[in-house]
A and B are shown apart, each in its own frame.
Chain A
Amino acid sequence: MNAATTPVAEVGMSISERGPSPRTVIVGYGFWLFLLSDIILFSALFAAYAVLSGRTADGPSGALLFHRDSVLIETGCLLLSSFTCAMMSLAIEFRRKDWMLLGAGLTLALGAAFLWLELTEFGAMLAHGAGPDRSAFLSAFFALVGMHGLHVSLGLGWLVVMMAQVFTLGWRAMVRDRLACFALFWHALDIVWIGVFTIVYLGAR
């Protein structure tokens, strides 16, 4: 809490009467709201997947198409990248550019590995004629998993930009707020992926 921008709280005053929050809190709060809206976007895609997952139109089913071992490695990459992302956040707390660079680099590498595995999976499915135009099930699959993959790609781009910002602009509040938002975003993608892994891959029939 920044004392200069927070009015002195009176004893017994209700939290809602304390006056405007500091900038960092406002930025973080707004980004939380965005993440909630993003999760609702995903829940619409999950709902569509739930409705259409059995509609294979005599095409291949999930049990036939998915390779759980490679998806497990994919999941490991993404979960581990959340850990390295948290390490990066700690490095930012201590204003250590070297450790931040390491955390961000590892996050980038793990995220890229996740994407590469995912694209390989997509590529193999397309090669076997199991593309999104094959059946409603595959449409829902490609839209849901692809939307998550799109988010991961955008996250990777964002992280590259943030690394450049740390090195050109330094540790100013603006940059730190953005890094905090990035971390929230990255962890949220993990949560979504847990849903994808459970419902799509483990739940494949």
Chain B
Amino acid sequence: MFGRLTWDAFPVHDPIPLFAAGFVLLVLAGVLLLVTVKGWWPTLWRDWITSVDHKRVGVMYVLLALVMLVRGFIDALMMRSQLALAAGHAPGYLPPAHYDQIFSAHGTIMIFFVGMTFMVGLMNFAVPLQIGARDVAFPVLNSVSFWLTAAGVLLVNVSLVVGEFARTGWLAYPPLSELAFSPGVGVDYYLWALQISGVGTLLSGINLTTTILKMRTPGMGYSRMPIFTWTALASNLLIIAAFPILTATLGMLLLDRYLGFHFFTNEAGGNAMMYVNLIWAWGHPEVYILILPAFGIFSEVIATFSGKPLFGYRSMAIATMAICMLSFMVWLHHFFTMGAGADVNGFFGIATTIIAVPTGVKIFNWLFTLYGGTLRFETPLLWAIGFIVTFVVGGASGVLLAIPPADFQLHNSLFLVAHFHNVIIGGVVFGAFAGYTYWFPKAFGFRLHDGLGKAVFWCWFIGFWLAFLPLYALGLMGATRRMQHYPETGWQPFMVVALVGALVILAGIVLTGVQLVVSVRARERLRDANGDPWDGRTLEWATRSPPPAWNFGVLPQVSGLDEFWEAKRCNGGALVAARGEGARPLQVPRPSALGVVLAFFAFVAGFALVWHILWLAGLALSCIVVACLLRAWQTEHEVELNAADIAGRDGARP
């Protein structure tokens, strides 16, 4: 009846997961109670859960990413504190089986459910506004994508309480992840969570690419797209090209585990190194999927707060597309030690160092934009400058690792861990926070508290260096990654400094929450009255804050780069309406429960498959088919707006 699910799956004897689960359930119950008592359910359901408005979907993505940032960061704190303790003969407080799950969950959550989710959310929110579109190409599909991501998140978090998570690291290399060596349900949780959320990501990539390529307002040719839109295009093209490889690879591992196939097993001719090749053929483009939108955010932020056009717009766009192409040619640098030989390693080493060229072009473009600009040191600009400083160091250590002989020494050491945190925190996380602060007033109509925002930045900036500089040193001393304890007591002081750094970052995360609460309470004082709080350059700042559901009552005619900036200079900020606009009635898509329904059944199916409850999986899949069929016969997809709704429709500004 319940497959392999028994009472043993619940951690009644294990204090840490029990406490964590109790805490999470308590918070969840508290939130549900609050929503019920306040009578917010109808609003929540109508305006958020079933909303297909790209802005709201984007906001929900970002909220999900922030929540998961807390979860992933708690994992990080546990690892750092374990390693600060477990020197010499001291065992620390986390047994190896638990520690292994923590680093696996930390990596999986931070990449898929924080980095990806945050960036997809920001792209969802800003791209249609930047290109003068009324929504994404497929609004309902967009909601489906979000909820599938949420289903994946839920599955990973359920593994905390019911059963276990993978102990294999965030990429689940076989043969360790095969049934023979990981007989538990941990790897299955990992696989199904990523398969479900991966489908969501792929659909979102198709959606945004179509939106950018086919829905730009009249006049917005490719050479007039804001640079964030360019980077979003590159990132989403990479999603379309890379995520199917992930789906196929994880699918093969699932076949190995569930049906006795031999893709990656040690027996019957399986080839584990093929998994490593395939997973990195997705995995390397993946890091550019994360970082390219961040580059775009920094470009917007730096141009805006320097009060001048981005230096070298064309070279920036070309560099973005060059990185997009090159990202598929370097995957092997993740395993130079595989033994592919000097020629192959040499090729991939050189290809990897070549990526530093377009990236360098970008760095110089940002510096030259800042140079001679009228700088306003608002919070987003602090993140951008902190990024330039941090990312250059991370990039340099990356070039170092790209040299195969050096990599042989540093492979799987804490030096590597320091390197990729240096580029992911310094690039993606700083970019995410810059974008969050930058577009927050557009989403909610009031700015975030400035002083607290700066405090958050300094906590992250200082905390990052404190936490990861010691790891560079430890890596050079020979400390390996994924190590639960170490005999060398001389490493302990470095580990303690790293823990202190993590605690400083913790202060930054706590302050992010405080900032949100304080800003909401002081929203009247922080009100963004005219929709353009930062003296922005691109079309999203021409709408009111928050923008109406249809974004632009009248589609604007674009005649150059930084259209809104030009409009403010020559025209008092009024955009020119595109020809033939205003005569037609305006339609907005109806809310749809399809996304949340599909995701619910996808979650049930995933959970059932993890525990081999076949009847439940079959039932859930049937429900998915039925829901899709019901949707297929729905004919009213849009609501026509009446005059009262669109009063002042020509005025994008109030």
Contact = CB atoms under 8 A, between A and B. Distances in A.
Interface of A: 4, 7-8, 14, 16-21, 25-26, 29-30, 33-34, 36-38, 40-41, 44-45, 47-48, 51-52, 55-57, 59, 132-137, 139-140, 142-143, 161, 165, 168-169, 172, 174, 178
Interface of B: 133, 137-138, 202, 205-207, 209-210, 213-222, 224, 240-241, 243-245, 247-249, 251-252, 255-256, 259-263, 265, 267-271, 274, 278, 281, 555, 558, 578-581, 584, 629, 632-633, 635, 637
Contact of A169 (B222, B256, B635): B635
B260 A132 contact: yes
A21 B210 CA distance: 10
Contacts of A44: 244-245, 248-249, 278, 281
Given A44-B245, A133-B260, A37 B271 contact: no
B216 A140 contact: no
Contacts, number: 150
B245 to A, nearest CB: 5
A8 B261 contact: no
A104 to B, nearest CB: 16
Interface of A (DSSP majority class): helix
Given A44-B248, A48-B278, 12 more contacts: A8-B579, A14-B221, A18-B218, A19-B216, A51-B274, A52-B269, A132-B259, A133-B262, A139-B255, A139-B262, A168-B633, A174-B637
Contacts of A20: 133, 214-218, 555
The 8 lowest CB-CB distance pairs between A and B, nearest first, are A55-B269, A19-B218, A136-B269, A44-B248, A133-B260, A41-B244, A139-B261, A16-B221
A139 B260 CA distance: 9
B579 A7 contact: yes
Contacts of B261: 132-133, 139, 142-143
Contact of B263 (A19, A57, A140, A178): A140
Contacts of B209: 33
11 contacts: A17-B218, A26-B215, A33-B240, A41-B244, A47-B278, A52-B270, A132-B255, A134-B268, A135-B269, A136-B263, A143-B252
A16 B317 CA distance: 16
Contacts of A165: 632-633
A30 B249 contact: no
Given A26-B214, A48-B278, A136-B268, A17 B221 contact: yes
Nearest to A165: B632
B580 A7 contact: yes
Contacts of A37: 202, 205-206, 240-241, 243-244
Contacts of A56: 269
B269 A34 contact: no
A136 B270 contact: yes
Interface centre among A14, A30, A34, A41 (most CB of B within 10 A): A30
Nearest to A10: B579
Contacts of A26: 137, 210, 214-215
A4 B137 CA distance: 18
B480 to A, nearest CB: 29
Contacts of A14: 221
Contacts of B245: 40-41, 44
A57 B268 contact: yes
Contacts of A59: 268
